Protein backbone atom coordinates (compact mmCIF):
# COMPACT_ATOMS: atom_id res chain seq x y z
CA UNK A 1 0.00 0.00 0.00
CA UNK A 2 2.91 2.36 0.72
CA UNK A 3 4.14 2.06 -2.85
CA UNK A 4 0.64 2.89 -4.15
CA UNK A 5 0.57 6.06 -2.04
CA UNK A 6 3.94 7.19 -3.43
CA UNK A 7 2.88 6.44 -7.02
CA UNK A 8 -0.44 8.27 -6.65
CA UNK A 9 1.35 11.20 -4.97
CA UNK A 10 3.53 11.51 -8.06
CA UNK A 11 0.52 11.28 -10.35
CA UNK A 12 -1.47 13.85 -8.37
CA UNK A 13 1.54 16.18 -8.26
CA UNK A 14 2.11 15.96 -12.00
CA UNK A 15 -1.57 16.45 -12.82
CA UNK A 16 -1.82 19.30 -10.34
CA UNK A 17 1.00 21.20 -12.01
CA UNK A 18 -0.39 20.45 -15.49
CA UNK A 19 -3.88 21.64 -14.52
CA UNK A 20 -2.39 24.81 -12.98
CA UNK A 21 -0.53 25.51 -16.21
CA UNK A 22 -3.66 25.10 -18.32
CA UNK A 23 -5.68 27.21 -15.89
CA UNK A 24 -3.09 30.00 -16.03
CA UNK A 25 -3.54 30.33 -19.78
CA UNK A 26 -7.28 30.62 -20.18
CA UNK A 27 -10.80 30.60 -18.88
CA UNK A 28 -10.27 27.30 -17.08
CA UNK A 29 -9.02 29.00 -13.92
CA UNK A 30 -12.22 28.31 -11.99
CA UNK A 31 -12.43 24.60 -12.71
CA UNK A 32 -8.90 23.40 -13.39
CA UNK A 33 -7.45 25.80 -10.82
CA UNK A 34 -9.54 24.21 -8.09
CA UNK A 35 -8.70 20.72 -9.29
CA UNK A 36 -5.00 21.65 -9.34
CA UNK A 37 -5.12 22.94 -5.78
CA UNK A 38 -6.78 19.81 -4.40
CA UNK A 39 -4.29 17.54 -6.16
CA UNK A 40 -1.29 19.59 -5.09
CA UNK A 41 -2.48 19.88 -1.48
CA UNK A 42 -2.98 16.14 -1.12
CA UNK A 43 0.03 14.84 -3.09
CA UNK A 44 2.52 15.63 -0.28
CA UNK A 45 0.21 14.07 2.31
CA UNK A 46 0.02 10.86 0.29
CA UNK A 47 3.78 10.91 -0.19
CA UNK A 48 4.22 11.26 3.57
CA UNK A 49 1.83 8.36 4.20
CA UNK A 50 3.72 6.19 1.73
CA UNK A 51 7.12 7.03 3.13
CA UNK A 52 5.91 6.58 6.71
CA UNK A 53 4.57 3.16 5.79
CA UNK A 54 7.88 2.22 4.21
CA UNK A 55 9.90 3.46 7.17
CA UNK A 56 7.82 1.69 9.80
CA UNK A 57 7.01 -1.42 7.80
CA UNK A 58 3.50 -1.29 9.22
CA UNK A 59 1.61 1.96 8.73
CA UNK A 60 -1.58 0.61 10.26
CA UNK A 61 -4.88 -0.23 8.67
CA UNK A 62 -6.63 2.96 9.79
CA UNK A 63 -3.91 5.18 8.33
CA UNK A 64 -4.01 3.24 5.07
CA UNK A 65 -7.79 3.53 4.95
CA UNK A 66 -7.52 7.31 5.34
CA UNK A 67 -5.07 7.47 2.46
CA UNK A 68 -7.30 5.38 0.21
CA UNK A 69 -10.33 7.55 0.98
CA UNK A 70 -8.29 10.69 0.19
CA UNK A 71 -7.18 9.15 -3.12
CA UNK A 72 -10.77 8.36 -4.07
CA UNK A 73 -11.97 11.81 -3.04
CA UNK A 74 -9.24 13.66 -4.95
CA UNK A 75 -9.74 11.54 -8.04
CA UNK A 76 -13.48 12.13 -7.97
CA UNK A 77 -13.23 15.86 -7.27
CA UNK A 78 -10.45 16.66 -9.75
CA UNK A 79 -11.78 14.19 -12.31
CA UNK A 80 -15.19 15.83 -12.27
CA UNK A 81 -13.74 19.32 -12.68
CA UNK A 82 -11.45 18.16 -15.50
CA UNK A 83 -14.39 16.46 -17.19
CA UNK A 84 -16.38 19.68 -16.96
CA UNK A 85 -13.52 21.56 -18.59
CA UNK A 86 -12.59 19.10 -21.32
CA UNK A 87 -15.96 17.46 -22.09
CA UNK A 88 -18.37 20.17 -20.92
CA UNK A 89 -20.28 17.85 -18.59
CA UNK A 90 -19.73 16.31 -15.18
CA UNK A 91 -18.98 12.70 -14.31
CA UNK A 92 -22.35 12.46 -12.57
CA UNK A 93 -24.51 14.85 -10.50
CA UNK A 94 -22.79 15.92 -7.27
CA UNK A 95 -19.50 14.20 -8.19
CA UNK A 96 -17.24 17.07 -7.09
CA UNK A 97 -19.03 17.63 -3.75
CA UNK A 98 -18.95 13.87 -3.14
CA UNK A 99 -15.22 13.89 -3.78
CA UNK A 100 -14.78 16.82 -1.40
CA UNK A 101 -16.74 15.00 1.26
CA UNK A 102 -14.55 11.94 0.81
CA UNK A 103 -11.41 14.06 1.20
CA UNK A 104 -12.76 15.46 4.48
CA UNK A 105 -13.63 11.94 5.62
CA UNK A 106 -10.14 10.73 4.71
CA UNK A 107 -8.58 13.42 6.89
CA UNK A 108 -10.91 12.47 9.76
CA UNK A 109 -9.82 8.83 9.40
CA UNK A 110 -6.18 9.98 9.54
CA UNK A 111 -7.04 11.97 12.67
CA UNK A 112 -8.47 8.81 14.24
CA UNK A 113 -5.34 6.90 13.18
CA UNK A 114 -3.23 9.50 14.97
CA UNK A 115 -5.28 9.14 18.14
CA UNK A 116 -4.97 5.34 17.98
CA UNK A 117 -1.25 5.40 17.09
CA UNK A 118 0.87 3.43 19.51
CA UNK A 119 4.61 3.58 19.91
CA UNK A 120 6.41 0.54 18.52
Find the farthest-apart pair of alpha carbons in the chain and give their distance in angstroms, rounded: 51
What pLDDT score does 60 carry?
83
Q: What is the pLDDT along the chain (120 residues), one digit of tens a residue?
A: 889 999 999 999 999 999 999 888 876 677 899 999 999 999 999 999 999 888 887 778 888 999 999 999 999 999 999 999 889 999 999 999 999 999 999 999 999 988 887 765
What pLDDT score does 111 carry?
92
Question: In this structure, what is the dihedral angle of CA atoms 34, 35, 41, 46, given to the nearest 10 degrees?
Answer: 160
What pLDDT score does 28 carry?
66
CA 80-24-19 angle, to 5 degrees, is 35
Query: Domain of 6?
Result: 2-116
Number of domains in the chain: 1
Amino acid sequence: MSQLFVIVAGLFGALGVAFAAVAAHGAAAATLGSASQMLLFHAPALLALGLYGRATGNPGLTLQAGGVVIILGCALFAGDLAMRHYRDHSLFPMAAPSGGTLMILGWVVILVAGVLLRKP
